[in-house]
Amino acid sequence: MAVVQIQMRKASPVKGCALFNLGFRPFFLGAGIFAIVSIVWWVLVYSGHGFVQIQSITNAQWHAHEMLYGYGLAVVAGFLLTAVRNWTGVSTPHGKPLMGLFALWVSARLLFLFGTSLMLWATIADLLFGLMLIIAISIPIFRAKQWPQLAVIVKVAMLWVGNIVFYLGYYQILQDGMLYAINGAVLLLIGLILMIGRRVIPFFIERGVSQPFKIKHHQWLDTSILVAFLALFINEIFYQHAELTPYLAIGLFMMNGYRLSRWHVWGIWRVPLLWSLYLSAWMINVGFLLYGLHALCAIPLILVLHLFTIGGIGLMSLAMMARVALGHTGRDIRASSVWLVPTFIAVMLSLLLRVFAPMFAMQFYPHWIVASALCWIIAFAIFVWIYAPILYKPRVDGSPG
């Protein structure tokens, strides 16, 4: 009888707001909303219908910073605050501490919407948020003595340092600091996706397809990709030997392409939460190819960077948020909303319009940018509409989290 009562109590619905029960909840919702607000604001500024006071940096640098260190780092925070708790069994911030951490991120984003007029306060809030995030994920890892997870801490810490470099550039303490920070953030976020994606995407595929499927991993291949990417990052940020870039980037494309081919099974194309992750992984890989060829083929670097940011970071983060939110709220990941398909398609249209359309008709470049932004806004509006109730309501199975 006691067992039955416990089961009934767990299965019974829990009322109230659960937004600050676990890290993914506020940061995924905040990232989704900010992805809309920031791009709406950017389109208004870009098209001349809005004005933001920006000094010492360009409008494009302001936009890039907010998408990389604003949106991107929010998704990273939500994912790692949840994943680190699962990896270590040690609690990460929840309740009021999580609310405080989230408030720092929100404060920095709101201050940045005013351009650089409130830059000092935005700098303080932004860097304090990054530092607190590093501490929040480090404590459980050190307590559990999970030393292999130090690689995650290092990448987040490097993102924080990159953000410092951006502000040093703004205050004219470090020449070209904004450029280093933006290019570095793109590569660091791609590196984080490669590392975490290697862990979770095969796991999701094996358990998400209907037919039995087992992915065989090769340590030599994983290590080779890691070393090649590290070499590319060091060269692009510190040494900038242009003659090395094609070899490193195309080598990455070939090795990572081979690994992705071993992850493929036709069953993923029947599951939106799988094909979106897999397609995004391939967009990153095509990004490596174009990154290696852009100088030889006269492909503007800004298009290659947007292939990484929209097709890689954008689609991957959206798909990951959609999948993680279902799993960690006790919902059936096989019963995702039918609206996820148009959501993912809208992001892919945003990518095609922003990256590939200009390659064939550069004279319409401003129009491609606006059309791409509209597709992005539609995608995240659908995501917020679907997932806001999922993220602020308690788990359906009555469990904590």
pTM of the model: 0.93
pLDDT tens for 331-353 read 888 888 899 999 999 999 999 99
Domain count, the chain: 1
Q: Is residue 2 part of a domain?
A: no
Q: Is residue 15 part of a domain?
A: no
Q: Is residue 190 part of a domain?
A: yes
Q: b/e map of 180-196 (b: 16 or more CB within 10 Å)?
A: bbbbbbbbbbbbbbbbb
Q: Is residue 249 part of a domain?
A: yes
The average confidence (pLDDT) of the chain is 92
The reported pLDDT for the residue numbered 27 is: 98
Report DSSP letters for 358-399, one per residue.
HHH-GGGHHHHHHHHHHHHHHHHHHHHHHHHHHHHSPPTT--
The reported pLDDT for the residue numbered 323 is: 95
Compute the distance between CA of residue 395 and CA of residue 33 in angstroms, rounded to an integer: 21
Q: What is the CATH number of the domain that holds 125?
A: 1.20.210.10
- When pLDDT is averaged across residues 108-134 and rounded to a whole number, the result is 95
Position 390 pLDDT exceeds 70? yes
pLDDT tens for 181-196 read 999 999 999 999 999 9
The reported pLDDT for the residue numbered 72 is: 97
Q: Is residue 9 part of a domain?
A: no
Q: Is residue 11 part of a domain?
A: no
* Residue 81, domain extent: 23-392
Q: Is residue 397 part of a domain?
A: no
Compute the distance between CA of residue 63 and CA of residue 51 in angstroms, rounded to an integer: 13
Q: Is residue 140 part of a domain?
A: yes
